[in-house]
C-alpha cells in the first residue's frame, strides 16, 4: 500500500464520509417490526447516525445496515417497542 497523504490528512474532495461504512462496527443491528410500528418517526430523530430512513412517498421506516452502529438508542426510545436488536 502506498499512502500519499496531504498535510493534516486533507482530502481533496467533499462528502466522503459515506465511503466509511460504520455498520461493520456493530454486533447487532436494529430491526423494525412494521406491524408494531406506529409510524411516529421518533427513531428517525433519535438515531445519532441518521441511518433510519423514511420510505419515499410513504410512512414506513427502515434501517440502513451500512451505517447502523448498534447503539440501541432507537430500540430504547421506540414508544411501541417495535425495534429489536438482531445479530
Partner 1 sequence: MLNYFENNNNMLALTGAEAAAEAMKQIEPGVVPIYPITPQTPIIEKFAAYVAKGKVNSELITAESEHSVMSAAIGAAAAGSRAMTATSSVGLALMYEMLNIASGMRLPIVMNVANRALSAPINIHCDHSDTMGVRESGWIQIYCETAQEAYDNTILAVKLAEHKKVLLPVIVTQDGFITSHLMEKVETVADDKVRKFVGNYHYPYSLFDSSKKLTFGSLMLPNYFFEAKVAQFQAMENARKIYKQVAADWETIAGRKCSEIENYLVDNKTEAVIITMSAGAGTAKELAKELNDRGYKVGVVKIKLFRPFPYEELRATIKNIDNIAVLDRTLSFGSIPPLYSEVVQTLSMETRRHPTSKEQNRKQKIQSYVFGLGGRDLREKDVEGVYADLLSNKFSSETKFLNLNIQ
Positions in the binding site for partner 1 (CB under 8 A):
1, 3, 5-17, 20
Question: Least distance (Å) from partner 1 to the CB of residue 25?
Answer: 11
Q: Is 7 left (phi over 0), alpha (psi -120 to 50) or beta?
A: beta
Q: Which is nearer to partner 1, 4 or 87 (CB)?
A: 4
Query: In terms of Cα–Cα distance, which of 39, 23, 31, 27 is closest to 83?
Result: 31
61 bridge partner residues: 54
Q: Which is nearer to partner 1, 8 or 57 (CB)?
A: 8
Q: Which is nearer to partner 1, 25 or 39 (CB)?
A: 25
Amino acid at each position: 500500500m502506498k499512502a500519499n497523504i496531504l498535510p493534516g490528512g486533507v482530502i481533496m474532495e467533499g462528502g466522503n464520509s459515506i465511503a466509511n461504512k460504520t455498520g461493520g462496527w456493530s454486533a447487532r443491528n436494529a430491526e423494525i417490526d412494521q406491524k408494531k410500528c406506529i409510524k411516529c418517526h421518533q427513531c428517525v430523530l433519535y438515531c445519532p447516525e441518521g441511518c433510519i430512513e423514511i420510505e419515499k412517498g410513504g410512512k414506513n421506516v427502515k434501517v440502513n445496515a451500512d451505517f447502523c452502529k448498534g447503539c440501541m438508542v432507537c430500540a430504547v426510545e421506540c414508544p411501541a417497542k417495535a425495534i429489536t436488536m438482531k445479530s
